Structure 1
């Protein structure tokens, strides 16, 4: 054997020796022994924990604190109920099928298990340690223990205690008693703890009268009470809760608790609309709801709020709040006959008032009263803002230095074609809305188009700027609906928004283009945590020059245009009116240098389920346009809120192309088009003078307009699309609430 062979032999011997050492170190006997040793160690630890942890007294839920809400000056606004909204009922009162629905939804093996789900608990512990948050899988017994004996904290210690106590409770307590405790302690949303309160909150019946289908909904609801509440659930939330409702019933069939044929006949039981809790009458309930909603947006969960102990100070100015309520009563409610007039019975008012320098919501009007009309009219987003959107089209044109079809830079002096029902030029989507009262205007400037809310001008302008650019500007300024289409009809405000949203948009203009986000919570604290308030003012959404130019245009709207009802020498004001198609909504959005306020009226059917209806005939006054009741409410409130007036003046700097000539009566007054438009029943009566104060109701035609009745000399610098009341061809229907002029 050579030296090379010897070296190879020695290497093999070394490797065998090393491998033998590893095998001696990790033998199967040692591995198995280690495993069983760890198991014994774990069992010993659990046994020690079992002996150490005893079943405690009931937690502090029965000693729950109230939440205290205060005005900005620290005076008391409201106190939530100091006791939990709960009425304990015996399990025998709850129908057996409803009991089974909860078991089928939450824990099918409840009647067979030992009170714990080890796999689910281990998964929950792992997610807690890894920071992944909550994880389902707890049994009904574990949930009962958590609700009745422990807290909602997601900690390893609490999960281990829950495991041990659940084992002991299952051994010492009958299953029916555990189920009764669970049904009576779990939180269902709408402030309802326990099945009796939930039955009343969602279906207006006692627990004993719940049917199987209703019980299955309440059981499905427990997975996400806020998300699955049908009254305010998103389309996704509604889809998910219906799927869980079906899952619950299918599990009941699988367990033999429900006949398959009976299950197939069941339909989803839509719950009733929510009602405010006692003590939340008048505007109080709306203010509390808005504050709670803002806290939830900041990460405070519904469970945290329900636990109580919060001291929440609002930005609401007590004097201005009372003034807003008085102004609505004086200028609107005192004019209505809600009992005997069917139209008056449909009128809903909403308003939001904001300090433009801080974003603080200083006053809010949510409706006739939270115990009478639960939905908050100040924050609801199911109506269109109509022509209050037009200033944003101008802002986008200025911001993007857009030009007309002829290449002229768009500014306040730019001349457009004001012909009613004039088809827009340069758009792939045909659009030809009519002007208010089908009036055509002879070569109006952009300033005059804003004064009179001429639809045809702004329809063409949005094409000149491009719908995509206008939408980008609108979103930057605070318009909430990111899904509104990028088509010419957006100039008529065909997206949805609330007075809260539009107050933020107009406050942004008021604040020289700095983004203003309305915020109602000044501070929120409890013993365990503090909520960080929203910063109401951000960076530049649009340039100061663009914002100030729009403000300059809007001052004339108040001085001599559609918003003249708000004109007074007591303060400087800028604003815009808006009325949606068929008078379903009427808006006035305006501001002074110190205060931004948006007021809206909505036509809402008083029948179950609501629905949008026309405001025409409100207080027997014909059409209810933005320049009417909303402008009067705004003026009355603003005068009082400013202490009778203010010397503050708009500080307009760097106004772009905003030096308008002195407004004069046009040499040729606007004349009605020769071809009558296809107008709805709400067309204005001859007694109204649209040339001076056009109302804002849109009455879009179904087909593109014919050739304009009059054509300004030369090619118009921009083609227009009829604004508030404009007609639109088949391909460009903005929706049921297309704004009509003003």
Structure 2
């Protein structure tokens, strides 16, 4: 067949034959080979079509394109940085220009005080000893003398933290910190951080290292309102910067990490450990850098700073108000803007804030007068040295609004810097007992005998009685009642609260579960985060402040809705008001539980440890009162926290050695054998409260338990609280005056004197003023 005929045959067949291959063989073999090749190509095209989507993704994200994109972004970033570097100049220092006075007003709008002149004195670096200069380098930036002024890793980490909302994480060089302090501000924004980077590079190029270090130590904030090393040296050690020792310089350098937390005068035990660790870190770095001899380092001891000196114009109680207002605002700035404490302080100090406080002039004056009349006038330091060792603190709160309407921080802010109203280093003692009862009621807890705990539940009031767990095993805790007094085995919870019987509440705490007790305490406003659920805390052996305890009792008074005491009515800066959180929070315990505790606490006033000072006070004028006394171990603190329907006030007396500031015993103060909560604290409370409280004389209580809604009565001597009745008669401290329903045995002995009268108890169901004799509440199956 000729080529033409072959071509025509292919056309007639509707397809074109493959051309012969160049391989050897016959034409037919070439045709076959070409067909197979065509088939393979067709199959390949089919597979390619099936995988077209996947191949498209691969073509889009090839390693070449990804690498190219990365380099393009790097070039873009470098280009942007170059542009920024060219456009941003070193600005004029603005730190001094931004300083403005803070203004503080009473609740009625009248000006209380102005706080403004910055405590700063610039000193030349030559006036600071070289070893002291190096303490700051060792603390903050060991490569300061050799670096280019920036830390790229630290800055990148800071940018990422800012973008992710984690706040400041450190990593800045001394140069960057100086630029932030002097040329910029404390805002945590990406723009500010980029400016900081550029300006730091330029400052490092144009200024000497000594110039930068001098600027850093002269502009940094050291706490106590002190800016710069000279002011800090005076405030902490009463010396000029030129006279600082290396050990003292290391403390000031350590302070810069957290000025308030590390200030020895106000630091918590944890804060003191942290600053000592930081101090050691600074000195050890100096040894590593060859700036300090190891033998000299070994001889150094921690240089405890002097007590703070108050600023002029903050005498009396004003300094305590202002300090608390700044602390509360700083706390909210830290929470809302995710900044550190030192950054929050820098935002508040001398920054043009106008504070209007909740302090009521009339109530404040009455509180100060009550402390003077009931305590200060009773003290005679010349006659009794122990009278020098007494500090008073108080906080008064409106339970409906959470406003701190009056506050007593100490004799004078210029003489006693530490606020006694806000200190948490003393035990609240038995004022914690209502929290245990609240936890029992809220959790519907039961005794060892399976009885639900309430005002009428029976406990064993024997002193030093061993507390047992749910298995009946001793837990190794047997607290002594006051004066080691036995109240017998037939004591109701109401009577136990009235007489503050330790053995009853120690067992109750274990019955409820100390984890639940601490959980309830936290809900009510106490700081219990680091406490372990130990039975010993039933005696109130943790730390608490009058402000905290006022908040706890205000929450009870407010029917279980949380009250967080606040001194700030409003805080404005530049015409913009900072929104403070609502002091009234959510329902943290049920109304019935809160109201039952209030009802029980009225018995403490009418028939218990506060009877003489409060119930019998001639100015009471029929007002209903609930409250609790407290006296700590070794008589180092004494409390009365009480409330009417419209005002809650916590008063604490604290034994503090007037020289060493260590905790001291108050035996003999004011000529009294012992300072009890029912003494000076309750007397201060009564004069203040009855002088300013409204005429609302009735608690609105949703409960059928407690002394406020049930009469007291004397149980039959044969009543037994357990299946194994006691063979000894019950002894009990009686009240000084008849209760709402007089007992059959009128009391004749003074308060705190043990007698053999049977316990005053409360039946569970008999209404007040009922003429029907109440049923015996003591069940023979009994409870522990």
Structure 1 residue ranges without an equivalent (≥5)? 673-685, 695-711, 720-742
Q: Which of 527, 533, 536 lines up with 1:480 in the alignment? A: 527
How many Å separate the matches in 1 of 2:502 and 2:647?
Answer: 28
- 1:336 equivalenced with 2:363 (yes/no): no
Shift in Å, 1:433: 2.7
Shift of 1:372: 1.3
Of 561, 567, 573, the match for 2:625: 573
Quick check: 141-150 or 3-12, which moved more? 3-12
Match in the other structure for 1:261: 295
Aligned partners of 1:247, 1:540: CA distance in 2, in Å?
46
Contact 1:253 1:259 in 2 (8 A): yes
TM-score normalised by length of structure 1 = 0.83
2:704 aligned with 1:655? yes
For 1:308, the equivalent position in structure 2 comes to: 351
Superposed CA deviations along residues 61-101 of structure 1, whole A, max 9, x for unmatched, are 24510111111111112221x22210011111100111122
Higher deviation after alignment, 257-266 or 199-208? 257-266
1:584 and 2:636 are equivalent in the alignment: yes
2:661 aligned with 1:605: no
- The alpha carbon displacement at 1:325 in A equals 0.9
CA shift, 1:558, in A, is 1.1
Size of the alignment, in residue pairs?
680
Residue 149 of structure 1: how far off its partner (Å)? 1.9
**CA, structure 1 residues 51+482, in 2 after alignment: closer, same or farther (shift >3 Å)?**
closer
Secondary structure of the residue that 2:491 maps to in structure 1?
coil
Residue of structure 2 equivalent to 1:740: none
Kindly state the Cα deviation for residue 630 of structure 1 after the two structures are TM-superposed: 0.4
Cα offset for 1:653?
2.5
1:150–1:455 Cα change, 3 Å: closer
Shift of 1:632: 0.4
Query: Is residue 687 of structure 2 the alignment partner of residue 633 of structure 1?
Result: no
RMSD over aligned Cα, in angstroms?
3.4
Question: Please, which runs of 5 or more residues in structure 2 have no aligned partner?
Answer: 1-32, 335-343, 718-728, 734-748, 758-776
- Structure 2 length-normalised TM: 0.79
Check 1:338–1:6 CA distance in 2 against 1; reply closer, same or farther (3 A cut): farther
Whole-Å separation in 2 of the counterparts to 1:180 and 1:345: 44
Distance 1:440 1:251, change over 3 A: closer
Q: CA deviation at 1:342?
A: 1.9
Residue 236 of structure 1, CA deviation = 4.7
The answer as to whether partners of 1:356 and 1:596 remain within 8 angstroms in 2 is yes
1:174-213 paired onto structure 2 within 5 Å: 174-213=208-247
Question: What is the rounded CA distance, in whole Å, between the counterparts of 1:199 and 1:441 in structure 2?
Answer: 58
Q: CA deviation at 1:595?
A: 0.5
Deviations 1:465-486 (A, max 9, x none): 3433333333322232234443
Deviations 1:537-588 (A, max 9, x none): 2233322222222222222221232101112442211111111112111111
Q: Matched residues in 2 for 1:11 and 1:198: separation?
A: 84
Which position in structure 2 is the counterpart of 1:71? 106
- Contact 1:114 1:170 (C-alpha < 8 Å) held by counterparts: yes
Offset of residue 375 of structure 1: 1.4
1:469-508 deviation per Cα after TM superposition (whole angstroms, max 9, x unaligned)? 3333333222322344434433322222111111111112
1:92 paired with 2:126, answer yes
- Show the counterpart of 2:3: none
- Select the residue among 475, 479, 482 that pairs with 1:429: 475
1:635 Cα deviation from its structure 2 partner: 0.3
Q: Distance in 1 between matches of 2:74 and 2:530?
A: 56
Distance 2:156 2:461 in 1: 71
Structure 1 residues 693 and 162: alpha-carbon distance in aligned structure 2, compared to 1, 3 A threshold: farther
Aligned residue among 45, 48, 55 for 2:90: 55
- Contact kept, 8 Å, 1:589 with 1:597, in 2: the verdict is yes
Q: 1:270 to 1:529 in 2, by over 3 A?
A: farther
Distance of 1:632 and 1:56 partners within structure 2: 61
Alpha-carbon spacing, 1:63–1:717, altered in 2? closer, same or farther (3 Å): same
Q: For residue 514 of structure 1, report the CA deviation from its aligned partner.
A: 2.0
Please give the per-residue CA displacement for 1:519-540, whole angstroms capped at 9, x wherever unaligned: 2211112128643223222233
Q: Which residue of 1 aligns with 2:505?
A: 458
- Could you tell me which residue of structure 2 aligns to residue 359 of structure 1? 402
The aligned runs of 1:547-558 (5 Å cut-off) are: 547-558=594-605
Match of 2:306? 272
**Higher relative CO (CA 8 A, sep ≥ 6), structure 1 or 2?**
1
CA distance in 2, matches of 1:693, 1:169: 84
User: Corresponding residue for 2:557?
Assistant: 510
Higher alpha-carbon Rg: 2
Is 1:670 aligned with 2:713?
A: no
